[in-house]
Structure 1
Amino acid sequence: MLKVKVKVKDKRFSIPVPYAVLNLVSLIVTSKRINRLINKAIEKDGNKFIFPEIERKDLKLLLQGFSKYRGVILVETRLKDGIEVEVKL
């Protein structure tokens, strides 16, 4: 389970993200239809950036790697204004 912890001033939020949700999101992100919709929305905004196509098999390997290395901290950030963000496997 991916755990996202956010601390803003006196408030703390902890958001658990199960691997099943990550798998569902990876299915959506790798969809060719969704990719076309994202690129059309970017073109309407006037940017020249193109959202790259991502292969499902590549993301699947990444998610399998996540489950092997539980407890590893991916991101730990502290800003000057007191905001803290931590993403942990």
Structure 2
Amino acid sequence: MLKVKVKLKDKRFSVPVPYGVLNLVSLIITSKKINRIINQAMEKNGGKFTFPELERKDLKPLLQGLAEHRGLILFETKLKDGTEVELKL
């Protein structure tokens, strides 16, 4: 489970993201129909970037690797205003 922790001056909150949700999102992102919709929306707004086509077989090892390395902190940052953000497996 991915855990996103955000600490503000007077507030703290954590957002857990289960691996099942990540797998579902990867299915949606790799869909050709969704890819076409995203690219059409970007063209409509005048964007020059096109969302690349991703294959499910390319993302699957990444998601399996995330599940194997639980507890690893992917990034941790602290801003000058005291805001802290941490992304942990």
Whether the TM-score (by the shorter chain) exceeds 0.5 is yes
Counterpart residue number, 1:10: 10
Deviation at residue 26 of structure 1 after TM alignment: 0.4
Counterpart residue number, 1:72: 72
Deviation at residue 4 of structure 1 after TM alignment: 0.5
Counterpart residue number, 1:40: 40
Specify the SS of the correspondent of 1:86.
Answer: strand
Deviation at residue 77 of structure 1 after TM alignment: 1.0
Report the TM-score when normalising by structure 1.
0.96
Specify the SS of the correspondent of 2:49.
Answer: coil
RMSD of aligned residue pairs (Cα, Å) = 0.7
Taking the aligned partners of 1:52 and 1:60, their CA distance within structure 2 comes to 17
Residues 1:21 and 2:21 are matched in the alignment: yes
Deviation at residue 51 of structure 1 after TM alignment: 0.5
Counterpart residue number, 1:55: 55
Deviation at residue 28 of structure 1 after TM alignment: 0.3
Report the TM-score when normalising by structure 2.
0.96
Taking the aligned partners of 1:46 and 1:8, their CA distance within structure 2 comes to 35
Deviation at residue 34 of structure 1 after TM alignment: 0.4
Taking the aligned partners of 2:30 and 2:2, their CA distance within structure 1 comes to 20
Runs of 4+ residues over 3 Å off in structure 1: none
Deviation at residue 71 of structure 1 after TM alignment: 0.5
